[in-house]
Structures are given as structure tokens and as C-alpha cells.
Structure 1
Amino acid sequence: MIPALETERLILRPMTMSDWPAYEALMASDRSQYMGGPLSRFAAWGLFCHDIAQWQLMGHGALMMEARGSGEVFGQVGINHGPLFPEHELGWFVYEHAEGRGYAFEAAGAFRDWARQERRLPSLVSYMDQENTRSARLAERLGAHLDVDAARPDPKDIVYRHY
């Protein structure tokens, strides 16, 4: 079962097909540069399906950030693992119109807490491109610390560990 989590301003809910157009647009844009993009429609669809399939395969995956009340979608928060990720990774993205308003911080903190309490994961990491300073600052605001010894899917990535 995929949970729906609530924060002060957000509902973190399962992905639906109505989320695909904005997701596809983000992945095709330069904003996806720190997520391996820009991506083709085919590659973006694979990631979209991956975010959903992990719930069935791993017991975690991605949730969309939706505004309480209005239903406006601001982005996504997710926990990734499996053959492509050495550890459970907490990740996020925010659509351009929602950037800088604290939604990723709120969503990532709530999902991190869910992972600890419900899934009993002892640790999460966030993998990121060295140039992705906004995500690095967010990881630090969440209380994560650089872990230079952590395994990483890309040797050029930096790793923040959430305790």
C-alpha cells in the first residue's frame, strides 16, 4: 500500500497519470541536469514508472507534493533503492513555479521520518552532483552531513547522510 502523508501545507500522495505531463516536461528541461537530464520522453517514462514500481518491489518509492486545499502539485519526494543505488536514497525535485518556498524541505523531512518510523530504515543518503548547491543546502537544513566514505552510484557524486 502506498501511503499518503500530510504536513502543515502538503499532502504527499501516490503518483497518477495526471502527474505525467509536468514530470515529462521537467525531465526534458535543463532543470533536470542534476538528475541525468535532459531526458528523452522514453527515458523520462522509464523513471516515472520506476518511481511507482518501487512501491511494489521495495515497499517505498515516490510521492507527489500537493498543496493542501488547492491540489496544486509542487514536485516530488522519493526513496530509491535497488540495483542502481548502494543505499536507500532520499531524493526530491521541485517544479520551477514552487521553488524557494520550503516545500522540498517540508516533504523530505516528513518522508524521512516516515522511512524511520514505518520502514525502520536506520539511515538514508542523498546522492547529488557536486554542483547542485541548492540540494546540498537543503540536505544540510534537514540535518544531513557529508559522508565522503559512502558508496555512490556515480563516483563524481557527493553523498549526504541523514541520521
Structure 2
Amino acid sequence: MQAPTLQTARLTLRPMRETDFPSYAALMAGPRSIYMGGPFDTGAAWGLFCHDVACWALFGHGALMLERHDTGETVGQVGLNAGPLFPETELGWMVYDGHARQGFATEGAAALRDWAWDALPLDSLVSYTHPDNAASQAVARRLGAVEDGDAPRQDAEDIVFRHWRAA
């Protein structure tokens, strides 16, 4: 499946481009990536970047970049992740330095989640959060997800939030 382009009030969620990699790699090499198992060197970041692109061909879903309507600036990424690294399909988000706490993660993740409900035969999604990542946990709660203590985890210490498809 080809990655869609989605629109929200402030963002265009668009397919990833090779030119997105430098900003992606910078986040993955920095201290905020500790919540995702980082920091990652360039090779590992490239592998994760390629995974996000390949998910579209392999699973019919993957990652989209968050681009602001007003400036054209790419401010982060949202994604649906699957494969051997993920026990269930994950709804994830990351916002680049300087763009946190502006609602971009919540806005983008809500749009991708809603696309998933329309396009995929899933009853739920999960979001894995590091116990120290209060900001990411707040995004999950704003999206209406609830903690699921029984869910399988990527890492034993993860807090898992479950997003249920609306009835």
C-alpha cells in the first residue's frame, strides 16, 4: 500500500522522503531518544527510518511526517509500527526539538489513528511509553487510550496504553 497524505487543522501528514533523514537522525542521536531505546548512531537510525518506510509495503501502514501548513517545516513523525520488534501494532509519535508541547503529537497521532480505523481491520492499537516519559503518556491519555497492564511489551518496563476502536 502506498502511504496516504492526511490533513489536520495545522498539519499535513505525508509520506517520508530521504531528505527527512537528517532531522530524524538528529533526534535519534540525542538525549530524548532514550525513551525509544537510544541514542542511536547513524546506521541504527537509518535502519529505523527504513523500517518506518518499509512498513507500508509489508503491512499496509507505516510512518508519516508531520509538516506544518503555515511554515512548511517538518516537526516530527507519527507511525503505525509492526513486525518482529512489536508485539502488537503500535501507534507512536515523536516531535523534533523545539516543537514539543504544541499539540503536534496529539493532532498527528489522532489523524493517523482515525485513518487506521477506516483502513485497517484492527480492533485496537497500543502505544508503548517509557515510565519516565510523562509527556508521551499525556499524549496517549489525550487520545483516549487507557493503561493496559496485561499487554505484551517491547521492553519489560514499558507502560502500555491501549487505543480501542470506537463501537
**What is the TM-score when the length of structure 2 is the normalising length?**
0.95
Q: Distance in 1 between matches of 2:18 and 2:72?
A: 15
The letter for the 2-side match of 1:54 is C
Tell me the equivalent position of 1:131.
132
Summarize deviations over 1:19-60 as a string: whole Å, max 9, x none: 011011111110111011111111000000000001000111
Q: CA deviation at 1:69?
A: 4.0
Aligned residue pair count: 163
C-alpha displacement of 1:119: 1.3
Alignment partners' CA distance in 2, 1:23 and 1:80: 16
Q: Distance in 1 between matches of 2:63 and 2:162?
A: 19
Deviations 1:88-107 (A, max 9, x none): 10000001111111011100
Looking at structure 2, the residues matched to 5 and 120 of structure 1 have their Cα atoms a distance apart, in angstroms, of: 19
Which letter does structure 1 place at the counterpart of 2:145? Answer: A
One-letter amino acid matched to 1:119? L
Give the corresponding residue for 2:45: 44
Distance in 2 (alpha carbons) for counterparts of 1:131 and 1:44 = 22
Cα distance in 1, alignment partners of residues 70 and 149 from structure 2: 41
Structure-1 separation of matches of 2:23 and 2:97: 11
**What 5-or-longer segments of structure 2 have no aligned partner?**
none
Given the alignment of the two structures, is residue 82 of structure 1 paired with residue 69 of structure 2, yes or no?
Answer: no
In the alignment, structure 1 residue 110 sits paired with structure 2 residue 111: yes
Q: How do 1:14-33 residues align onto structure 2 when only pairs under 5 Å count?
A: 14-33=15-34
Which contiguous aligned blocks of 4+ residues in structure 1 show a shift greater than 2 angstroms? Answer: none
Distance 2:120 2:149 in 1: 25
Question: 1:145 and 2:146 equivalent?
Answer: yes
Q: Shift in Å at residue 156 of structure 1?
A: 1.1
Counterpart for residue 66 of structure 1: 67
Q: Output the TM-score relative to the length of structure 1.
A: 0.97
Unaligned 5+ residue runs, structure 1? Answer: none
Identity over aligned pairs, percent: 57
